[in-house]
């Protein structure tokens, strides 16, 4: 079966609840489609607002992070169990900004992803290299290691459910998008690695996204590459022209 494309917006730490409500009001009819799976990953305080604003549409809501514990003395954190009860189906795990500013390790990304799955959430697991790593020819090694740890202890069924987002750090928020060939070769390597671990049918089912300076101008060529199943979109998901990214075909 063909993999359904996914276009996920990552709002990062943007839009207050009132702004979120009015922005969703502006774009929801334009991005409401069956052709791709559309997800808006919003700040925690906007989850309920977004759910209400999106009622009656096919657009999904996602969170941007979660803790690996179900509950406990972790001031300021949110658990997968909480997201599950709120019926938030997706959660970004291990975004490079979390890895860089909040020191999240590959192991933490793995534990969080396993916990997300246990709560029936779909983790959108982010991996990607820095410009220094790319320039020193280490892209494939870095991504391989990140993916290998992230998928540790996952079953074939788990890996069919997860979404992998290849986000080269040098392309995030910089306006320097990976070329479609650069993005494709890494996404193809990611799929190959899944095949080596769990077989071809799992590898053929897992959605692998590209993220990093996706715009209405480059979405089509990127998302139509054979191993790229859509995108994780930052800045461009905060504009009404996000519609054109969603309708990239
Ligand atoms: P930009 O699309 O703003 O480069 O951000 C990409 C990203 O980090 C999505 O998670």
pLDDT tens digits, residue range 216-248?
999 999 999 999 999 999 999 999 999 999 999
Chain Cα centroid distance, residue 14 = 17
Copy the structure tokens of residue 103.
């020191």
Q: Which of 211, 230, 236, 237, when mutated, tests ligand 1's pocket best, judged by the most ligand atoms within 8 Å of its CB?
A: 211
Copy the structure tokens of residue 21.
């409500």
Task: Note the pTM of the prediction, 2 decimals.
Answer: 0.98
The predicted pLDDT at position 223 comes to 98
Q: Which residues sit with their C-beta closer than 6 Å to ligand 1? A: 10, 95, 167, 172-173, 211-214, 232-236
Other CB atoms within 10 Å distance of the CB of residue 245: 27
DSSP 8-class letter at 83: H
Tell me the catalytic residues: 95, 167
Distance CA 115, CA 76 (A): 18
Share of the chain above pLDDT 70, in %: 100
The predicted pLDDT at position 249 comes to 84
Would you say residue 19 has pLDDT above 80? Answer: yes
């Amino acid at each position: 079966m063909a993999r359904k494309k996914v276009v996920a917006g990552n709002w990062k730490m943007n839009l207050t609840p009132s702004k979120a409500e009015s922005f969703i009001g502006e774009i929801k009819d334009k991005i409401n489609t069956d052709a791709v799976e559309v997800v808006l990953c919003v700040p925690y305080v906007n989850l309920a607002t977004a759910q209400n604003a999106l009622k009656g549409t096919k657009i999904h809501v996602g969170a941007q992070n979660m803790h690996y514990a179900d509950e406990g003395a972790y001031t300021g954190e949110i658990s997968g169990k909480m997201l599950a009860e709120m019926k938030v189906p997706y959660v970004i795990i291990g975004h490079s900004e979390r890895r860089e500013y909040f020191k999240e390790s590959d192991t933490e990304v793995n534990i969080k992803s396993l916990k997300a799955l246990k709560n029936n959430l779909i983790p959108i697991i982010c991996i990607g290299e820095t410009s220094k790593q790319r320039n020193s020819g280490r892209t494939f090694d870095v991504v391989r290691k990140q993916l290998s740890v992230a998928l540790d202890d996952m079953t074939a069924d788990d890996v069919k459910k997860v979404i992998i987002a290849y986000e080269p750090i040098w392309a995030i928020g910089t306006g320097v998008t990976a070329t479609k060939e650069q993005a494709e070769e890494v996404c193809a390597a990611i799929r190959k690695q899944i095949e080596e671990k769990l077989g071809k049918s799992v590898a053929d089912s897992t959605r692998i996204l590209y993220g990093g300076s996706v715009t209405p101008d480059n979405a089509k060529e990127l998302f139509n590459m054979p191993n790229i199943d859509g995108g994780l979109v930052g800045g461009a998901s905060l504009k009404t022209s996000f519609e054109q990214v969603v309708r990239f075909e």
